[in-house]
């Protein structure tokens, strides 16, 4: 594990962004703390990035969790990171960044997909890992990060962040979803699917359960897809609906929402009959993963209507 400059080819220079943000030229609200993590988790925006990440990293490692509300793997990983932030007791601070609300930070980090976890030590970027990995592996990355930080003289211990877990905390999770959430946290996708299906049997209009079910099914599908072969097949067989569906699933699971939608809209446009209907129905299920209020879903629905008619 090695550190590298924030300035990356093809990406925004984060040090410059931090300067503009601290002078009030970047959008966003600063200082809001995230819930959980024993007071060692902070919600970071473009406006408070310099203070909460760059400056703080001079004395204690800052671990950044890039996430989004629609990202189901993020919902598996983020609670693990928050729990470990509390357990490590200030040996690192966890900074959470919503990529949809902070696109310039996402661009600056060169994000290809989420969840993505990096660290900052003495103002330098330290790549960690991508995806929702098991807790044991997360611990290994954190321990290695702390050794790297110590070798660079960063050995401080953070004090609990004022208001963390209080001000700015999200509302309590509806207990109806506790069974599904617990299954997702332990990686039991079959259990999560069963829990969401039970909720929908009780209330077919439960939109959160509908979205959770679609997300858990997506994760179960992509777990079985050989990604490299699937992408090669899709490139070689543009009219093979199943091949296009598999790559659309891979794209959406990796956070490439618009790529996934565009692939299936194009497939609908090129095909007819049962193949067209299969691509259309699968695209509608992917809309459920992201949610009906997302602008990307709205745009894609318009594109789908144009492709159909």
Catalytic residues, which ones? 71, 74
Task: Give me 191's structure tokens.
Answer: 């259990």
Would you give the DSSP letter of residue 109?
Answer: T
Helix, coil or strand: residue 145 = helix
Task: Give me 244's structure tokens.
Answer: 């296009």
230 Cβ contact partners less than 8 Å away, ≥ 6 residues apart: 243, 246, 247, 250
- What is the DSSP code string of 20-76? HHHTT-S-S---PBPS-GGG-EEE--TTTHIIIIIIGGGTS-EEEEEE-TT-HHHHH
On whether the CB atoms of residues 57 and 121 are closer than 8 A, the answer is yes
- Cα(308)–Cα(252) distance, integer angstroms: 22
Q: In degrees rounded to 5, what are phi and psi of residue 101?
A: -85, -15
């Amino acid at each position: 594990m090695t550190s590298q400059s924030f300035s990356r080819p093809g990406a925004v220079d984060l040090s410059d962004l931090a300067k503009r943000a601290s002078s009030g030229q970047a959008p966003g609200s600063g200082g809001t703390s995230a819930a959980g993590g024993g007071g060692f988790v902070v919600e970071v925006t473009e406006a408070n990035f310099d203070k909460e990440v760059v400056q703080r990293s001079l004395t204690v490692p800052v671990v950044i969790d890039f996430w989004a509300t629609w990202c189901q793997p993020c919902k598996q990983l983020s609670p693990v990171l928050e729990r470990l932030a509390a357990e490590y007791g200030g040996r690192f601070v966890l900074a959470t960044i919503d990529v949809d609300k902070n696109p310039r930070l996402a661009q600056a980090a060169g994000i290809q997909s989420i969840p993505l976890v990096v660290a900052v030590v003495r103002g330098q970027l330290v790549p960690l890992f991508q995806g929702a990995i098991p807790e044991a592996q997360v611990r290994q990355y954190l321990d290695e990060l702390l050794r790297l930080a110590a070798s660079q003289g960063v050995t401080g211990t953070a004090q609990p962040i004022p208001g963390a877990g209080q001000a700015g905390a999200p509302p309590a999770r509806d207990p109806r979803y506790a069974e599904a959430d617990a299954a997702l946290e332990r990686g039991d996708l079959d259990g999560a699917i069963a829990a969401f299906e039970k909720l929908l049997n009780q209330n077919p209009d439960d939109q959160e359960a509908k979205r959770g079910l679609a997300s858990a099914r997506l994760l179960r599908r992509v777990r079985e897809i050989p990604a490299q072969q699937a992408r090669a097949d899709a490139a070689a067989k543009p009219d093979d609906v199943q091949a296009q569906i598999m790559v659309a699933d891979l794209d959406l699971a990796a956070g490439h929402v618009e790529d996934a939608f565009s692939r299936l809209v194009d497939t609908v446009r090129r095909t007819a009959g049962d193949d067209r209907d299969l691509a259309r129905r699968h695209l509608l299920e992917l809309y459920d993963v992201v949610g009906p209020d997302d602008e990307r879903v709205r745009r894609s629905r318009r594109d789908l209507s144009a492709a159909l008619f």
